[in-house]
Amino acid sequence: MRVLVVEDEAPIAADLRRGLEANGYTIEPAMDGETAWFLGGTEDFAAIVLDLGLPRLDGLTVLKRWRAEGVRTPVLVLTARGAWTERVEGIDAGADDYLPKPFQFDELLARLRAIIRRSAGAASSVLASGKVTLDTRTMRASVEGRPLSLTPLEYRLLALLMHRVGKLVPQSEITEQLYAQDFERESNSIEVLVGRLRRKLGPGVIETRKGFGYTIGGG
């Protein structure tokens, strides 16, 4: 799934990108508030990691604008340690959670998973639909208890569909969530990827709504 990471400190941004990509996320970076405001308001993301201390437009203003414009993407706010007033303002402005700097990456990852789960209406890190189970904490999937070996892209696709169980996911949204903007891909790459994952999951798990998209668990 695709995450917008808004952080102007290059070393932190690079660490976040490496860590999140290693855990199955597609990352879109932004290093200033104006770019973040535009991307968050015009593109689809599973979640946003937002630093408040940004150039050009501060993070709190960006968050308030998103919420005023109807953007409901879950947001994890990063704040300077001890800046409790910022944390309060962030929550009041519509942040879903906050994390003070410096932070442990594992905690950020856990909080990110949690706000994505909550936005999808899931209470546990283990997602299930029929015979398929996906543990988003360990990044392990199984069918009837049998472990699956998935490529990173196959995992991202399965995670996206499992977070939307019973709902139709359009092909355009899958493309946006799985690939970075600058990633070159073939026109039929989604169909090929779905075909590979479908073979591993077995028949009847991923349903196709021709011309509309894909779903797991009906819809």
Residue 65 is encoded by which pair of tokens?
């604008």
Q: SS in 3 state form for 175-196? A: HHHHCCCCCCCCCCHHHHHHHH
CA distances from 22 to 51, 145, 184 (A): 21, 24, 20
3-state secondary structure 10-35: HHHHHHHHHHHHHCCCEEEEECCHHH
Q: In angstroms, rounded to a whole number, what is the distance separating the alpha carbons of residues 67 and 41? A: 9
CA dihedral 30, 33, 36, 41 (to 10 degrees): 180
Residue 192 has a pLDDT of: 92
| pTM across the whole model | 0.81
Residue 206 has what pLDDT?
94
- Cα–Cα distance between 4 and 28 in angstroms, integer? 5
pLDDT of residue 188: 81
What's residue 182's pLDDT?
58
What residue segments make up the domains of the chain, in order of their start? Answer: 2-120, 126-216
Phi/psi at 205 (nearest 5 deg)?
A: -85, -55
**Which parts of the chain register pLDDT below 70?**
81-83, 123, 180-187, 218-219
* Cβ partners under 8 Å of residue 17, min gap 6: 5, 27, 29
2-120 has which CATH code? 3.40.50.2300
Angle between helices 171-178 and 189-201 (to 10 degrees): 90
- The confidence score (pLDDT) of residue 219 equals 44
The yes-or-no answer to whether 2-120 and 126-216 have a common fold is: no
| Predicted pLDDT of residue 181 | 64
CATH for the stretch 126-216 = 1.10.10.10
Residues present in the chain in total? 219
The confidence score (pLDDT) of residue 80 equals: 78
Q: What is the pLDDT of residue 172?
A: 87
